[in-house]
Amino acid sequence: MLVNMKEILEIAERERYAIPCINTPNVETIRAVIGAAEELNTPIIIDHAEVHDSLIPIERIGPEMIKYAKEASVPVCVHLDHGTDYNFVLRAIKAGFPSIMYDCSALPFEENIAKVKKFVQIAHAAGITVEAELGVMASTEEDTHADAETQVLTNEDIKKFFTEPEEAKIFAEETGCDALAVCFGTMHGIYAEPPVLDIDRVKEIRAALPKDCRVVMHGASGVEFSQVQNAIDAGCSKINYYSYMAKATTKFVGELIAEKEGKIAYHEVQEEAYKFMKSYAKEVILAFKNGK
């Protein structure tokens, strides 16, 4: 069934686990991720990234995401990932998305607040949930959903972007956002060195936020599951995961084609990729359920 993010994150909060949010830029990935959630009888969030729109526009993939979500036996939230352009956000609303990330994190603090606050008022009136971001999520060279500006960052560099708990409190109270992506050691894409998460910061942010605003972690792929689980225990309810699943699937497909010496039809490759992604997504869901 199709739900907004508030309903999904209430389940995560109650059960004390985190729900993966996975990019689904094609039908095989939608089937794989929702299929994995159904087999494990757990809620899931699927999202379309603004940066994937050049691959497939939201008007094409959005209705597919929503159709599969409605038919699913578990709650599925269809979410817009990193909407930075207001026109793009409006296109997601028009496509029927029940949840939107309006990312104004590149703007100064006050401007970020003002823009998100205004949007939350409109979105909530329409029953749409809003995720915002505070602190900048850095991107790496191999980011699978990055725009042109990429860089290689060390753990020391990432610290400059960390979210301050006091600012998170002010931001969430002022804007009324339902979820807040914060920075405490992760970044998008493929890591230059093993990331180190500031778990105490997650605890402080969670304690500072209003009761109905949830902590979101981006860039979880590439982080050891044990560290992710510490972040979940500290209060992360939604965790974005994609880059490493995409990379692992490419490797799998390359090996499959080599093994078959090229004697495999494209639709069979697609089907095998779907099965691979489904088992990968199941591992991610189970890790984020954290033994619950």
**Footprint on this chain of Zn ion (rule: CB under 5 A):** 218
User: What count of other Cβ atoms lies within 10 Å of the Cβ of residue 155?
Assistant: 15
Contact between residue 28 and residue 52 where contact means Cβ atoms under 8 Å apart: no
Residue with tokens 């088992």: 279
- Choice between 74 and 99, CB closer to Zn ion: 99
Report in angstroms how near the CB of residue 241 gets to Zn ion at its nearest: 10
The residue annotated as part of the active site, out of 81, 143, 178, 198, is 81
143 is catalytic: no
Between 18 and 273, name the residue whose CB sits nearer to Zn ion: 18
Helix (H, G, I), strand (E, B) or coil at 15: helix
What are the distances in angstroms from CA 142 to CA 26, 33, 49, 128?
A: 20, 23, 16, 32
Q: Which residue is nearest to Zn ion (CB)?
A: 218
Residue 35 or 218 with smaller CB distance to Zn ion: 218
Strand partners, 46: 22, 78
- Looking at the Cβ atoms of 28 and 133, the one nearer to Zn ion is 133
- Cβ(89)–Cβ(119) below 8 Å: yes
Angle of helix 243-259 relative to helix 266-289, nearest 10 degrees, comes to 140
State the catalytic residues: 81
